[in-house]
Structure 1
Amino acid sequence: MGIDLPLLWALIIGFGVMMYVLMDGFDLGIGILYPWLPDKHHRDVAMNTVAPVWDGNETWLVLGGAGLLAAFPVVYSVVLTALYIPLVLMLLGLIFRGIAFEFRFKARERERPIWDKAFIGGSFTATFFQGVVLGAFISGLPVENGVYLGGPLDWLAPFPLFTGLGLVCAYALLGCTWLIMKTDGVLQARMARLARPLSWGLLAAIVVVSVWTPLRDPAIAERWFSLPHLPWFAPVPALVVVAMVLMQRALRRGAQVTPFVLTLLLMFLGYAGLAISGWPRILPPNIDIWQAAAPPQSLGFALVGALFIVPFILMYTAFSYYVFRGKVRPGDAGYH
């Protein structure tokens, strides 16, 4: 039996996107939380917790985009055509967020608020439009013979806009629990108080999306609520409830690492739920991974590079987090 190259590439791209969401989510979340950090020293500490790792986190976004182009060029071209505006706005947000990292600590005191606003605006914009792209993709893109048939503003619909706001809440909770883990004192206590409403907001977003998607798409409803799938997929929502209960307990007892781990679990479960709903469609509503795949020769050639580079990304990512482990406190060396 030969290797199912489209399936393997779908798993690689899915893994890359998941790693990006989990790892870049908390530093975008810190930017979203900046309005709740009025103290200059708290803002310095918050930025310093992610300064050594934020740009490495974006490697996974590059891997996902490049992998999509190499393995599923039809999907790449359709998504880029249909969602060009939100994708450009997302990239502009990431650019402003990156510029803010580079300029904020080097700016004169009176100019620093400008870069704080760039950090906030860039983080919120990038996050919101990532969610919009996700929602529009889930909603389905009309395609015929590999050509997008919709309009440039079809993404301006209630479901994509809601998923954009839901992702803002999710990333804010990631950033909040990251700061609980990486800081102490007044800043940690402030984040612990803020984590409670954010966790309930994330749960509400998960519930709304979980109800909305099967109501919109009968195929998704059949997958989740019919036999023999129901016993296999029921643990996903059950685990969401368990993780939420454990989250509230951890916040009440003042745990520092557990809330972040549970937030990662909630994000993974939400990602898994969306994957279950759509599988094996890679271009909703009706194009699967085998129909959209590049020729086997292209998939095999690109796979050699992917299998070489992904382990290196994992190794240097793990090493960077190991080197910069521990708490970050006021007065520690800043970002340069």
Structure 2
Amino acid sequence: MASTSHRALRLLSLLGTGALRPLRELATALGVSERTARRDIETLRRLGYPVTTVHGPDGGYRLGSGHPLPPLVFDHDQAVAVAVALQTAPSSVFGLGEGAARALVTLEQAMPTALRATTKSLRLTSLRNYWEFPAPPIDPAALTAVGAAVRHRRVLVTETLRADGSRPGPGDGDFRPARRVEPHHLVVWAGRWYLVAYDLQDERWRVHRVDRLRARPTTRSFGARELPHGDLAHFVTSSHDRGDSPAAWPCTGSARLDLPARVVARWAPGGSVIEHLDGEHCRLTLGAWSWAGVAGILATFDTGLSDLHPPELAQACRRLGHRMAAAGTGEPGPAREAAPRDPSPPPHRDDG
């Protein structure tokens, strides 16, 4: 059984989230009886921590305001979470590599020996395999500006940018006038940051890639709205016009699918582009390290395909079809296509 002081720190960590915690839940987390957990709560109160009691069937304990937490009250799980988060954050936000590394060293120096050993054992080497579809890291200034507008409920004036960060001119085909939107939520999916916003001009909900926006906050505030879908993740992933563009792969092709855009958008890999054609059809543009790879991803949708481009993709689909048919009969299938000399995509080239 852990010592009283160790349990007190663990209990402080559990209550530090601000959530209401039932006594039974606290006792289970501490590995003690409810009676012992109640004594530990009294120990924290004697030390000056304002642990309040909420009575009733849905009651429990929570830590009130008015007293600072001691620095770095981490348990094992929190130490693991911090170590992993600090090492993976630079892959999604630009320019955080050095700062995250210094923060991890600073935290380790203040941690107890056992937790320091835990974080040191989790030093990661980031590798990229052929089937990852990541996005380039986002500018922290852009993320901070949008995040502040979400938090303070301030209307944004937004302009849509190209994948290279340039702003299309009025004569360009992809030019979009500036929009005034209410920023409601930030969602991260497939390494990309998306803003769920209400467009005040179109009076409809939209999903925007944060790194494809030039956002200027205003002083105009807005109130809460009923969201278009109870599951924000589902709303983002099923929105085909969320601002994605094809990722940079050795092979990129497109096909017409006999499925609605919202369905394909939900399951297409990151870095794909879905074009709405009608209520039952869409066009999917995506890439992979080989034409067989593109054909294989298209096959996962298990639907009719037509109007394939370029010809290499159509040929790969025919080869894959013959190969699958031969697999069912036990006969040898057609020879595979020649693999690229270096099938792995270059690091950080993905602008999807």
Q: TM-score, normalised by structure 2?
A: 0.21
Structure with bigger RCO (C-alpha 8 Å, 6+ apart):
1
Which has the larger strand fraction?
2
Larger radius of gyration: 2
Which has the larger helix fraction?
1
